[in-house]
Amino acid sequence: MKSLDEISRLSAEDLERIGADESIPIPEDLHARVYSTVSGRSRRMRLGGIAAAAAAVVLAGGFFLSREPSPKDTFDDPLLAYAAVEKALAMVEGKVSKSIDKVEQASVPIEKVYYWK
């Protein structure tokens, strides 16, 4: 019996010649063994597909059930809403400015570049 490496090195003509050789015995139950192997794999694949679909349905259901309702409008007066937006943007601006200052402090200009040859 040839190893997988030897078979992979055979040319197409050699494989055809071996396939046409009638002196090579073929087991009588070969068809049944191949069919049982293929049908077993397809059954497992079918079950795996069903399991994956069920998991997707459960995850999607959990996502939709756990979603929080969208926030309601909390301001009746547009001027109060505008003031709240300004306050929130001022807070964000302060944090961004602080971050930029820290980055500038940490940035040291490079005066020399050292490299290895």
CA angle 63–69–72, rounded 5-degree value: 160
Q: Are residues 84 and 75 in contact, defined by beta-carbon separation less than 8 angstroms? A: yes
R_g over Cα of the chain: 35
pLDDT of residue 105: 75
CA distance 91 to 85: 10
Query: What pLDDT score was predicted for residue 87?
Result: 93
Along the chain (117 residues), what's the average pLDDT of each consecutive run of 10 residues? 79 83 79 76 72 83 73 81 92 88 73 63
**Domain parsing of the chain, residue ranges:** 11-67, 71-108
pLDDT at residue 109, as a whole number? 67
Determine contact, residues 42/51, Cβ cutoff 8 Å. Answer: no
Cα gap 46→39, rounded to integer Å: 10
pTM: 0.31
